[in-house]
Amino acid sequence: MAFAAVDVIRAKRDKRELTAEQITQIIAGYTAGTVAEEQMSALLMAILLNGMSADEISQWTSAMIASGDRMDLKGLPKPTVDKHSTGGVGDKISLPLAPLVAACGAAVPQLSGRGLGHTGGTLDKMESIPGWRATLSPEEMLAQLRDIGVVICAASDDLAPADRKLYALRDVTGTVESIPMIAASIMSKKIAEGTASLVLDVKVGSGAFMKDATSAAHLARTMVRLGTDAGVKTSALLTDMSEPLGLAVGNAIEVAEAVDVLAGGGPADVVELTIALAREMVDLAGLSVDPADVLASGAAMDSWRAMVAAQGGDPDAVLPRPLEVEIVTAPATGVISKMDALAVGMAAWRLGAGRARKEDTVQAAAGVLCLAKPGDEITEGAPLFELHTDTADRIPAAAAELAAAVEVVPAGRPVPRRAIVMNTIRG
């Protein structure tokens, strides 16, 4: 029977399971432009409302992988392992993590994206390093993985092109928030990238896609199954995103914090999560070193410097400084009991650290520096946040985002320390 997109839409509208052939044809047709935008929009909404079975998600993922090239990293002399985060506020973990895991003996192919909305993008942060280049040819990427063991770069346009087109459509049709489609979108890119093992950092909380642990666990299990079924050793850590990670939220200031971690310092939560993810990655890669020892040895810093230099960056360059700095003060005296990740992420975005549309440019020096975090004592009127921007007229809107971001309880009242790693799901 001839393929008709409307039959696929009707089937999902009526809650029927799509066949493998229907999924293959609709994704191929949409990528080639023979399935109309309005037809795919209707199907996406039907999927959002009626869901997909495990078999449908798996087929949808395979069809998106088949829409482009699949990289082959099998010729590398080291085990390959990557990490993907579902996105959070102050999430600079890839920056210390990738060189650390390389220094442990693995090859880490970190194909990353740019930020959209309140969560930052790894490439935007790295581009604040003068001279650093995000775009590498496949040959350059392979050579760097062979020589240094780590690359952070932009994914090529040929990697799961169906996902790029579909993601843009989901963005404007209110259909991003579908667990099957988020899982298929992330995993199609990671499977096509060719890594042998993958650790997923699935964020939970106000600053994350998934606001509660139940939906985050559902997303994590769906992705772990997709990876495992495709022959990629996959685990997921569910991690807290109710408050920003570390003290720095932005671009250059997050690079500076990542370098502090590589130098043996940095905020305790950033160090804790970097080590937890590195241990899972090293374990999946079959290596038997403790990343905490490797970090302490300085070898991860050596890998970072080599990686930055190989991509044209100067690891010793002074990072961009903002033209304007404004202080926001504490609203009360006591102990900070809560700092809302979403509010801090929105403030950084309003200062110019992120983009509203994908064509927008970001300010390298923009962001928010938290001068205290939950558990710290604070005095009313003392500096609490530093707002960084190159455009002074962005400051009032950013300060407004922070007006209700923090809760302060009387001194002496215990503020429980949050557990960064909430759960681990293994394939």
Applying CB under 6 A, which of residues 73, 182, 217, 294 lies at the interface with ligand URA?
182
Is 185 an interacting residue with respect to ligand URA (CB under 6 A)? yes
Q: How far is the CB of 183 from ligand URA (least distance, A)?
A: 8
Nearer CB in complex with ligand URA: 163/269: 163
Task: Give the number of other Cβ atoms within 10 Å of residue 225's Cβ.
Answer: 18
Task: Give the number of other Cβ atoms within 10 Å of residue 413's Cβ.
Answer: 10
Nearer CB in complex with ligand URA: 171/272: 171
Does the annotation mark 170 as catalytic? yes
* Contacts of 172 by beta carbon, 8 Å cutoff, 6+ apart: none
Strands (E), 232-292: 233-240, 248-250
Nearer CB in complex with ligand URA: 121/427: 121
Residue 359, φ and ψ in degrees, nearest 5 = -80, -15
Applying CB under 6 A, which of residues 35, 186, 307, 336 lies at the interface with ligand URA?
186
Q: How far is the CB of 253 from ligand URA (least distance, A)?
A: 24
Which of these segments, 178-186, 352-360, 394-402, 416-424, binds ligand URA (CB under 6 A)? Answer: 178-186
Nearest Cα neighbor of 187 from 132, 227, 246, 133 is 227
Query: Which residue is catalytic, options 170, 225, 233, 350?
Result: 170
Q: How far is the CB of 182 from ligand URA (least distance, A)?
A: 4
Does the annotation mark 388 as catalytic? no
Q: Are 235 and 190 contacting, i.e. CB atoms less than 8 angstroms apart?
A: no
- In the range 314-343, which residues lie near ligand URA by CB under 6 A? none
Is 119 an interacting residue with respect to ligand URA (CB under 6 A)? no
Q: CA 330 to CA 2: how far, in whole Å?
A: 66
Task: Give the number of other Cβ atoms within 10 Å of residue 256's Cβ.
Answer: 16
- The DSSP annotation for 65-128 comes to HHTS-----TTSSS-BEEEEE---TT--THHHHHHHHHHTT-BEEEEE---BTTB--HHHHHTT
Nearer CB in complex with ligand URA: 132/167: 167
Nearer CB in complex with ligand URA: 60/167: 167
Is 219 an interacting residue with respect to ligand URA (CB under 6 A)? no
Is 142 an interacting residue with respect to ligand URA (CB under 6 A)? no
Q: How many angstroms separate the first and last alpha carbons of the chain?
A: 38
Does the annotation mark 10 as catalytic? no
Report the catalytic residues.
84, 163, 170, 185, 189
